Structure formats: structure tokens, C-alpha cells
Amino acid sequence: MTSIAGAVTEFRQLDLMATGDTTVHRLDAKAKVLVTLAFILAVVSLGKYELAALFPFFLYPAVVMALGNLPARYIARKVVVVLPFALLVGMFNPLFDQTVLVRLGPIGISGGWLSFASILVRAALTVGAALILVGITGFPAICQALDQLGMPRIFTVQLLFLYRYLFVLIEEGSRTARARELRAFGGAAGGGLGLRSYGSLLSHLLLRTWLRAERIHLAMLARGFSGEFHPRRTTRFGVREFLFLAGWSSLFLFFRLVNVSQLLGTIITGVSG
């Protein structure tokens, strides 16, 4: 439970970064959401063997992190947490696809290794872009932008509730787990921390969160909640947002249609030759 609470606390710290006042923070959330979607679509639409074509896309997260004053080490740590899942997805590719597609001198690289590396790079790019979006926008503003872009309101409201009260669930779970450990003396005297205790622990957690949710709902109704959340920062889609969206989308389209890495390699080889 402590590790889960720590992970949620770190995610809350990422959302707190959205309170910054940089150029990208002040942009309308809809522009940033659309640019992130365009980035993800461009990355995932590349062929499974096009590993070199993915590297120019690192320009976007690097520039946005620099403009938004986001800590690169923090984002990198969060991305590394997700990479094992991508590793599981592509770990068998080298076994099933052994056709040699690239040769580096005497070393032949099969298509399986290329697709495996491509999966890892795509995961790093897409997850990094999503984390950066939260870091420069904030999760509530993202949900509001999705609502304004046409997503059904019931989904956006559910996402907001899930985000806001996930922390409440973790706090209730932490208190319940702490009380269990104290009553069992840390498991030192007669156990009390075995698997049997988890049944009552989960049932108590369910009842406590149910009652807490009812109190929260009544408090929200008493304060005039009508199904809408109001953002911390009010923005509008203007000229800056249009230039931000058009500029990055055009660059993503160029990276998608032109293998920039291969083009640069050809130019450098021609100049050196």
C-alpha cells in the first residue's frame, strides 16, 4: 500500500507542475490535446520496421519540456516504469521474425529486433507525450478540453471523478492498512498479517470508501454541483493556439512522410564522400 500511495503522490506532483506560468502552460488546453493526439497518431502509424524514422519525433518532447520547465529526469523515470510492459509485448519478435533486413558490416539485424526496438521507442514517445501533456495542462483541464472537443460528458465527468477521488481511496486504504498492522503488532506476535486478513481488510475498505463517497456527493450537491467542473485557468483558442497546432502538426506530418534520419545520413555521407 505504501508503494501505491507513493506512486499516486508522484502523479499528483506531475499534475502540480501544470500550475506553472510558462508559454506552453498558458496555451488553451484544446490545442495541446490535439497536438498530442497528432503526435501519437504519427508515431504509431509508422511501419513496424521504421526504427530510424522514429528518432526525429524526440524533438517535440524535448522542446516542450524545455519551454514548460519540466524536469526531464522525472519524466524519464515515469517512462521507464512503463517500458517493461512494452518489453513483454515485443520480447518474442526476434524469435518469430528472423529475416535479416539491415547489415552493419558483418552483423546482420533481423526484422524481429527492429520491430522489438521500434515498440520500445514508440512506448517511450507516446507515454512521454501523455505525461508531458499532464505536466503542462493538468488532468482537469484535459478532461474539459476533451468535453469541448466532443467527447460525451458522462465520460469526461467519470474521468474527473476517477482522478480526483483515487487519492481519497488511497488515503482510506493507507489508514486501513496502518490500523491492521498496529492491531497485529507488525505481525510479530501471533501473525495477523496473513492472507486471511485481506478479506476483512478489503470489505472494510469497500464500506469506508462507499460511506466516504456518499458524504462527498452530498457535500458537492450542497455546494451547487451541477455536473460541471470549472478549470483553474480560463483560456481561449486564439492565434497562438492555431500556430502551435498547425506548426507541430505540419512537422509531424513531415516526419511521417519523410525519413529524416535516412535523409540526413544520405546528406552526411554524400558530403564526406
Structure confidence at residue 10 (pLDDT)? 65
β-pair type (107-110, 100-104): antiparallel
Nearest by Cα to 180 from 199, 168, 203, 197: 197
Alpha carbons 233 and 19: distance in angstroms, whole number: 9
Alpha-helix runs per DSSP H in 103-196: 111-137, 139-148, 153-183
Helix (H, G, I), strand (E, B) or coil at 97: coil
Structure confidence at residue 59 (pLDDT)? 94
SS3 per-residue string spanning 180-215 = HHHHCHHHCCCCCCCCCHHHHHHHHHHHHHHHHHHH
Structure confidence at residue 184 (pLDDT)? 65
Cell 486471511 maps to which residue?
196
Contacts 24+ apart (CB under 8 A), 20-25: 20/68, 20/69, 20/136, 22/67, 22/68, 22/69, 22/136, 23/67, 24/64, 24/67, 24/68, 24/136, 25/68, 25/136, 25/137
> Given phi > 0 = left and psi -120 to 50 = alpha, else beta, which region is 191?
left
Structure confidence at residue 4 (pLDDT)? 54
For each of the chain's 273 residues, which pLDDT tens digit applies?
445 556 566 667 777 888 888 889 889 889 999 999 999 999 999 888 888 889 999 999 999 999 999 988 888 988 888 888 888 888 888 888 777 777 777 777 787 888 888 999 999 999 999 999 988 988 888 888 888 888 888 888 888 777 777 777 777 777 777 777 776 655 544 455 555 666 667 777 777 777 877 787 788 788 877 666 666 666 778 899 999 999 999 999 999 998 888 788 777 776 554
Helix (H, G, I), strand (E, B) or coil at 101: strand
- 105 φ, ψ (degrees, to nearest 5): 65, -125
Structure confidence at residue 62 (pLDDT)? 94
